[in-house]
Amino acid sequence: MIKNARSHLEQTRLRVQIWGKAAIGLYLWQHIFEEHLEPANVTAQWREGSQKAGKTYFSFITGPSVVPGYFSVETENVVLVLNGREKAKITYATQWLHYAQTLIQTRKIQHVAVVLLGNEQCSNEWIQPYLKRNGGFVNLLFVTYDCALVNEEDVFQWPLGVATYRNFPVVEPSWSMLRDPRSYICNFLGTVYKNSSREALMEILKQDGLDKLCWIAAREQWQPQETNESFKNYQDALLQSDLTLCPVGINTECYRIYEACSYGSLPVIEDVMTPGDCGNSSVYNSAPLQLLKTMGAPFIFIKNWKELPALLEKEKKMSLQEKIQRRKKLIEWYRNFKAWMRQKFINILENSFLPSDKG
């Protein structure tokens, strides 16, 4: 027993505490790490979980009660999950970074990584001074969208994931999800902004009567919170459609892409760069959606919605058997993608935080 206990202790060489202060932390923990939180109630003030992975023991804490100075810092290694999407969120994120900096200065912690919900136009300059290579203390940064800072050394691209802030669930693929015929060829439930490609998409669907084959529900204003009914409609649309149309918004990458994958509905992505500072990084040359493309996402990429009628014609001729194969491939790819992101995340932390064995 003593021998076993000792070898177990030796295997766990790193302890990491993740502070989930943005909804994207739930995607990391519940979807990528496939772990639970206690209590299960999403409105709880304090939720926690733990997992041993590789040489690392992870603990995760989240909720409104997780406040700087009011919880025990249990490890020397911290992953801070922050929202940097807009000014007010950045102010809040900065307070957490300053708290972490104090802990570093007083030697309470040794290493800090940040998982950041970046700005949709990739203007993330505010975080630069905090990076270790710029004289700061943040060892590693995982950031969403095609941020030019990504170098695969200390800055990595992170997937946007599903809208956990709307409590989008972890979906377990079922027999019927894979095999049942679906009532609609495609779906688009979302906001149609004035003078956007989404307007053009609506026109194309109406012109050819294609909107009769697809579940389309357009609204003019974005709503951060869904009603139960609209959210159930959205999930049903994903489950009942072979394709999910993903027009660009402020960014090309959207929650819809990952949510469609969860239900085996193939994303049809408008593959165009959006205005702003996003683009090719020093290591990737396939923006937009560098991470998904590099990982071989089996999506349909189109440059213009005018290509849609021909695509839908082709869909009509597909057999159920072909669609089942495609669904299996999509769900399998998405499962592997999440597993790969988890492994990559763990490897990067271990390589950076563990003392090197080179003597």
200: Cβ–Cβ under 8 A, 6 or more apart, which residues?
Answer: 305
354 domain residue, yes or no: no
Bridge partners of 186, per DSSP, are: 214, 243
CB 238 within 8 A of CB 246: no
DSSP element (H, E) containing 115: strand 111-117
Give me the pLDDT at residue 208, please: 77
For the stretch 131-151, pLDDT in tens is 999 999 999 999 999 999 999
247 domain residue, yes or no: yes
Q: Domain limits at 32?
A: 14-144
Q: Which two tokens stand for residue 241?
A: 């459609």
Among 243, 237, 18, 59, smallest CA distance to 142 is for 18
281 and 194 share a domain? yes
173 and 227 share a domain? yes
The count of structural domains within the chain is 2
34 and 105 share a domain? yes
For the stretch 226-272, pLDDT in tens is 677 888 999 999 999 999 999 999 999 999 999 999 999 999 999 99
159 domain residue, yes or no: no
317 domain residue, yes or no: yes
184 and 132 share a domain? no
Which three-class secondary structure state does DSSP give residue 98? helix
Which three-class secondary structure state does DSSP give residue 211? helix
Question: Do the strands 56-62 and 47-53 form a parallel or antiparallel pair, or are they unpaired?
Answer: antiparallel
Written as tens digits, the pLDDT of the chain (359 aa) is 666 655 555 567 999 999 999 999 999 999 999 999 999 999 999 999 999 998 999 999 999 999 999 999 999 999 999 999 999 999 999 999 999 999 999 999 999 999 999 999 999 999 999 999 999 999 999 999 999 999 999 999 999 999 999 999 999 999 999 999 999 999 999 989 888 999 999 999 998 788 899 999 987 766 666 677 888 999 999 999 999 999 999 999 999 999 999 999 999 999 999 999 999 888 878 899 999 999 999 999 999 999 999 999 999 999 999 999 999 999 999 999 999 999 999 999 999 999 876 54
CATH assignment at residue 193: 3.40.50.2000
**AA identity, residue 197:** S
348 domain residue, yes or no: no
32 and 179 share a domain? no
124 and 216 share a domain? no
286 and 182 share a domain? yes
178 and 325 share a domain? yes
Of 109, 144, 179, the domain-final residue: 144
119 and 184 share a domain? no
Burial 116-129 (b: 16+ CB within 10 A, else e): bbbbbebebeebee
179 and 137 share a domain? no
Question: Do the strands 241-246 and 47-53 form a parallel or antiparallel pair, or are they unpaired?
Answer: unpaired
83 and 185 share a domain? no
CATH assignment at residue 134: 3.40.50.300
284 domain residue, yes or no: yes
Q: Which two tokens stand for residue 172?
A: 């377990």
135 domain residue, yes or no: yes
Of 86, 110, 144, the domain-final residue: 144
49 domain residue, yes or no: yes
- CA–CA distance, 127 with 104 (Å, rounded to integer): 17
Report DSSP state, residue 28.
I
28 and 175 share a domain? no
